[in-house]
Amino acid sequence: MRLLARMILGAMDQPTKHSQRMTSRHVAELSGVSQTTVSRVLSGHPNVSPRTRGRVLQVLEETGYAPNLAARAMRTGATDAIGVVMGSVTNPFYPMLAEALHREISKAQRTMTLWISDGEVTDSGEQGALHAVRERSVDGVIYTTATPDSASLSAAITVGAPLVLINRVIDDVRCDSIVTDGAAGARAAVVHLAELGHERLGMACGPRAVSTTHDREQGFLAGLAAAGLPVETALHYRGDFTHECGRQAFDRLWDAPGGPVTAIFCVNDVIAFGVLDRARERGVDVPGEISVVGYDDTEQAQWSAYRLTTIRQPVAAMAALGVGCLLERVADRTLAPRRELLPAVLVPRASTGPVPS
């Protein structure tokens, strides 16, 4: 037995013999117990005598054995991998979110599989996730940039995989969703501007179908109503979520037919940076001549180039809730869909000030 042990260990030392690595059976032989017992020790099963456990643990330590996850997955049906779908990583909000999600996923001893949508094929990330769900290579998927018209997403729902929508909601879709209160956030931005005396407000939005844009637009309108200000939909510039969109929004709203706006609320920080940069290019003073509010509170927002007043999303809490929901759902697929609405807070900085007189 000892000799066998040595032979096995010897083979293990060969780095070239990489293809045949330590298995629980090897560990069993080395510890003089059955493979079943090794499995029990590994899983912390109570029915193992302290003596046996000790012996096995020592061999485990010596050999640096780690269970083959594919084999375990085949038995248990769980891969311990969680998928995350992201539509963009150019917008720094998403790396922030990815980092927070990764932290939670690691904390839960899981692995993060990431799909990033291709610029051309917006749906590509979700298609990858759908495929993985079909092949059972992830236990569930967190979508951070879901849109209602995604065929892949609805296919994934049909398959019955555990799914969580984070950052965006879709009506009539049977899965958990974790979002921040975009309407309240936008409303707070408008109230802030109204308090500074602004009466002619513009907004820079993304596509209407995206829930974040929709919610923030509703909040913007609600804020105007609450402040007794008129609604001028002509002052809603609609583009995508880019810096260039912000630049164009500035031009449109500064040169608006009824005269320039005195403040612009942007549906995200990147757009706001575009607005601010365009203002700088045209020599328009911020906040002397125009105030700007963003959304997300990305790291750049506090840089002195921008000092952007913005709405902060509780990214860490979103990630924790999202991963938590998903794992609960993996454990019990019959759970009713959950909807969580987290608060967003206004972070005032130097890009907003009193209305010019």
Partner DNA sequence: CTGAAAGCGCTTACAG
Confirm or reject binding of residue 58 to DNA (CB under 7 A).
no
Task: Describe the chain by its helix, strand, coil percentages, rounded to 5.
Answer: 50, 15, 40
Site pattern 292..331 for a second copy (x: CB under 8 A): -------xx--xxxx-------------------------
Confirm or reject binding of residue 172 to a second copy (CB under 8 A).
no
Confirm or reject binding of residue 43 to DNA (CB under 7 A).
yes
Provide the CB-side half-sphere exposure for 237 (13 A, CA).
Answer: 30
Tell me which of 3, 44, 51, 336 binds DNA, using CB under 7 A. Answer: 51
Q: Are 110 and 170 in contact (CB under 8 A)?
A: no
Measure the CA–CA gap between 201 and 231, rounded to whole angstroms: 9
Single-letter amino acid, residue 46: P
Confirm or reject binding of residue 37 to DNA (CB under 7 A).
yes
* 108-131 as b/e: b if 16+ CB within 10 A: eebbbbbbbbeeeeebbbbbbbbe
Confirm or reject binding of residue 122 to DNA (CB under 7 A).
no
Residues 6+ apart with CB under 8 A from 44: none
Which partner, DNA, a second copy, none, binds residue 320 by CB below 5 to 8 Å per kind? Answer: none
Q: How far is the CB of 68 from a second copy (least distance, A)?
A: 5
Tell me which of 53, 55, 200, 280 binds a second copy, using CB under 8 A. Answer: 280
Tell me which of 5, 8, 52, 244 binds DNA, using CB under 7 A. Answer: 52
Q: Are 271 and 294 in contact (CB under 8 A)?
A: yes
Beta-carbon count within 10 A of 139 CB: 24
Tell me which of 4, 74, 231, 305 binds DNA, using CB under 7 A. Answer: 74
Q: At what angle do helices 315-331 and 93-107 cross, to 10 degrees?
A: 50
Measured in whole angstroms, the distance separating CA 137 from the mean position of its chain's CA atoms is 20
Residues 6+ apart with CB under 8 A from 206: 212, 213, 238, 239, 240, 241, 245, 267, 268, 271
Confirm or reject binding of residue 248 to a second copy (CB under 8 A).
no
- Whose Cβ is closer to DNA: residue 39's or residue 124's? 39
Site for DNA in 263-322 (CB under 7 A): none
Given the rule CB under 8 A, which residues bind a second copy? 15-16, 18-19, 21, 64, 66-71, 73-74, 77, 79-81, 89-90, 92, 94-96, 98-99, 102-103, 106, 111-116, 118, 124, 128, 131-132, 134-137, 158-161, 243, 273-274, 276-278, 280-281, 299-300, 303-306, 333-334
Given the rule CB under 7 A, which residues bind DNA? 20-25, 33-37, 39-40, 42-43, 46-53, 65, 67-68, 71-72, 74-76
